[in-house]
Structure formats: structure tokens, C-alpha cells
């Protein structure tokens, strides 16, 4: 098997995770780690047996694919460097620091015909992958993603740091342009919002209610989906979920009506879950980042047509996030 030569730009927490995954993939050879801090780069390079470089430009011609895992503000310049030199990139979410920069990345990638993937790793969460296989058409989506303060990504707020995962997922589920956004958010710790709730209405009628917080006392990542085909209740964190399908439960309505005719029937004694056709969602245990990077490398190698999340999809998530941030500003408390 011919291995693709890979590198990671950014030796922080996420850079370390990306480097670790690349070092374990059979289809990849981790060639280098680049970081503005020579100390960080050398420490990570020593850990994974590759070289450390200070200047990302020195990687051009030496690698087949690069993961950009730096602070968001640096994404555009780094993406531009590699794309202009024909090097495919996987950019950690969000795609860029602004919608304008995101569009520039998408346009440059098209012009140069270079693959750009976006690190929305939650799309590769086994729960999301299992939900994807159901091929549902959601009418309402409710998402909650809260956790204690992460002590990172202080250059952006909770929308671009945390909620962006769920924005990407609801966009892929709804498969429709955004019609309207209403949101409220508040900053408590620093200059950017730490808590946000957004209501996104799509042109096909689907509605999503999304809550994100980095001030919670515990971690919770849950989603509920209402559709014509089924009701889903999923837990990203625990990697579990249930599906209540519509068709098998038609007889329940008939049973209820029959017993309503019996004036002395006591419904309080009925065990409701036993009447429903409830299925445990079949979830395969897999590492999301590994799936994400393998999909990226498969696209680079021509084995698949596209990575898991394309630059265009990353831009769509960024545009929706921008509308949410605009709505927060419009609803700011005096």
C-alpha cells in the first residue's frame, strides 16, 4: 500500500490528536509537525517520530496532504498557502474566521481543483452515522450541547467553537436552504458569547432548535428528531439512541380507541413503552477523527469522490453561524 505523506500544522491539543491518528493510519505516513513554537513542534514530533518545522511553507513539495489545526484566525492564510501549491488540506472547524474568508477558500479550491475537507468530526460520530443510514426527512430537530468551560478557543465564542458541530449536522439533515434565524446569547467569562440558543427555520419547513453552552456543570450532547418516518432520541456522548418508527405503531392507536370505549378501563395502569415499537439504534463503535481523516485521505487518493465534510458544507455551516451571531447582536440586552 502506498502511503500518503501527511503533516499537521498546529501543535496544540487538536494538533496532537490529529498527529496521533495520522501516525496510526495504514494509509498515512506522518512526515512533519509545524508550529510557530519550536518547542511545541519538537515535543510533538519527538512523540510521533517525525520532523518538526517552524515554517509551514517548507512542507510544500514534501507532503501529499496537510491538516490545519491552528487558531481559527490563521486558517485562511495557511489554506491559501497550501491550496495555491496544489496540496489538499483538512481544516479544523470552523472553516475560517469569517464568511468572507470561508468563501475565498472555497473559490480558491475550485479554481485550483484541490480537495479541501473541514474537520466537523461530529459528522463522523457513530450516532450521526447511524442516523444518516435511516435516511429520515426531519420536520423538527432539537439539539443540546453543553459542557464545562474547555479553557481553549478563547478567540471565538460558543457558536463557532461548539454549536458549529450541530449547525453542520442540522444542515445535512434538513437538506434545505436556511430561511430564517432567531438567536439569543450572552457572554459571561470573556468577550464572546458563552451560551446561545438558536431557532433555525428552513425553506422546506423543517425547524431546528439548538442550544450550546460552555458554562454547564456537566457534559451533555443530545439530539431529538421528529420526522414522518420516526422519532429519534440520541445521545452523542454516550453513543446510544432509540428509534420509534411510525408504521409499526399504527395498531397502538386502534388499541387506544378500543379501550377508550370501555368506560371503566384504567389507563393509568398501562405501561406506555410496552405498547410502542421501540428499537435501539444500531451504533458501531468507531473513532470519529479516524473516520474523518481516512475519508479525507481516501478522497485525496481518488478512492472516493469527496471527504466526509466538504469545503462547501463547511462554508454553509459558517454562513449559518454568521446569521446566528448577527441575530445575537440584534437581540443584545441593553
At 29-86, the pLDDT tens digits run 999 999 999 999 999 999 999 999 999 999 999 999 999 999 999 999 999 999 999 9
Least confident window among 15-29, 187-201, 248-262: 248-262
Indicate the pLDDT class of residue 132, thresholds 50, 70 and 90: confident
Long-range (24+ apart) CB contacts under 8 A made by 305-309 are: 306/115, 307/90, 307/115, 307/117, 308/117, 308/120, 308/123, 308/124, 309/117, 309/118, 309/119, 309/120, 309/123, 309/168
Identify the DSSP state of 181: E
3-state secondary structure string across 197-263 = EEEEEECCCCEEEEEEECCCCCCEEEEEEEECCEEEEEECCCCEEEEEECHHHHHHHHHHHHHHCCC
CATH number of the domain located at residue range(s) 123-286+319-330 in this protein: 3.30.360.10
pTM: 0.87
Mean per-residue pLDDT, 241-253: 73
**pLDDT tens figures, 152-209:** 666 789 999 899 999 999 999 999 999 999 999 998 887 889 999 999 999 999 999 9
Coil, strand or helix at 46: helix
Angle value at C-alpha 26, between 22 and 29, nearest 5 degrees: 50
Predicted pLDDT of residue 267: 76
Indicate the pLDDT class of residue 127, thresholds 50, 70 and 90: confident
CB of 30 within 8 A of CB of 19?
A: yes
Domain limits of the chain? 4-122+288-307, 123-286+319-330
What does residue 111 show for φ and ψ, rounded to 5 degrees?
Answer: -60, -40
Q: What is the mean pLDDT of the chain?
A: 90
* Domain 4-122+288-307: top CATH class: alpha beta
Run of H or E including 296: helix 288-300
Least confident window among 10-14, 25-29, 268-272, 299-303: 268-272
Amino acid at each position: 500500500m502506498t502511503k500518503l505523506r501527511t503533516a499537521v500544522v498546529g501543535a496544540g491539543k487538536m494538533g496532537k490528536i490529529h498527529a496521533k491518528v495520522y501516525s496510526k493510519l495504514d494509509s498515512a505516513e506522518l512526515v512533519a509537525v509545524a508550529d510557530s513554537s519550536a518547542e511545541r513542534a519538537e515535543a510533538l514530533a519527538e512523540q510521533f517520530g517525525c520532523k518538526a518545522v517552524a515554517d509551514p511553507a517548507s512542507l510544500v513539495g514534501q507532503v501529499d496532504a496537510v491538516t490545519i489545526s491552528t487558531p481559527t484566525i490563521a486558517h485562511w492564510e495557511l489554506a491559501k498557502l497550501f491550496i495555491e501549491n496544489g496540496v489538499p488540506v483538512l481544516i479544523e472547524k470552523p472553516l475560517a474566521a469569517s464568511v468572507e474568508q470561508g468563501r475565498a477558500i472555497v473559490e480558491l479550491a475550485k479554481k485550483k481543483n484541490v480537495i479541501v475537507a473541514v474537520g466537523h468530526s461530529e459528522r463522523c460520530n457513530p450516532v450521526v452515522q447511524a442516523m444518516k443510514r435511516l435516511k429520515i426527512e426531519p420536520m423538527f430537530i432539537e439539539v443540546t450541547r453543553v459542557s464545562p468551560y474547555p479553557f481553549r478557543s478563547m478567540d471565538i465564542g460558543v457558536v463557532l467553537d461548539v454549536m458549529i458541530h450541530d449547525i453542520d449536522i442540522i444542515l445535512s439533515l434538513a437538506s434545505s436552504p436556511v430561511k430564517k434565524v432567531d438567536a439569543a446569547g450572552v457572554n459571561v467569562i470573556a468577550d464572546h458569547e458563552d451560551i446561545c440558543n438558536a431557532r433555525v427555520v428552513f425553506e422546506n419547513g423543517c425547524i431546528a432548535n439548538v442550544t450550546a453552552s460552555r458554562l454547564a456543570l456537566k457534559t451533555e450532547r443530545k439530539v431529538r428528531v421528529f420526522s414522518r418516518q420516526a422519532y429519534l432520541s440520541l445521545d452523542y456522548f454516550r453513543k446510544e439512541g432509540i428509534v420509534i418508527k411510525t408504521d409499526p405503531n399504527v395498531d397502538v392507536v386502534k388499541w387506544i380507541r378500543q379501550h377508550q370505549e370501555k368506560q371503566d378501563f384504567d389507563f393509568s395502569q398501562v405501561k406506555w413503552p410496552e405498547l410502542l415499537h421501540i428499537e435501539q439504534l444500531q451504533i458501531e463503535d468507531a473513532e470519529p477523527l479516524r473516520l474523518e481523516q481516512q475519508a479525507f485521505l481516501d478522497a485525496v487518493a481518488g478512492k472516493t469522490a469527496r471527504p466526509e465534510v466538504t469545503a462547501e458544507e463547511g462554508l454553509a455551516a459558517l454562513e449559518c453561524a454568521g446569521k446566528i451571531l448577527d441575530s445575537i447582536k440584534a437581540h443584545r440586552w441593553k
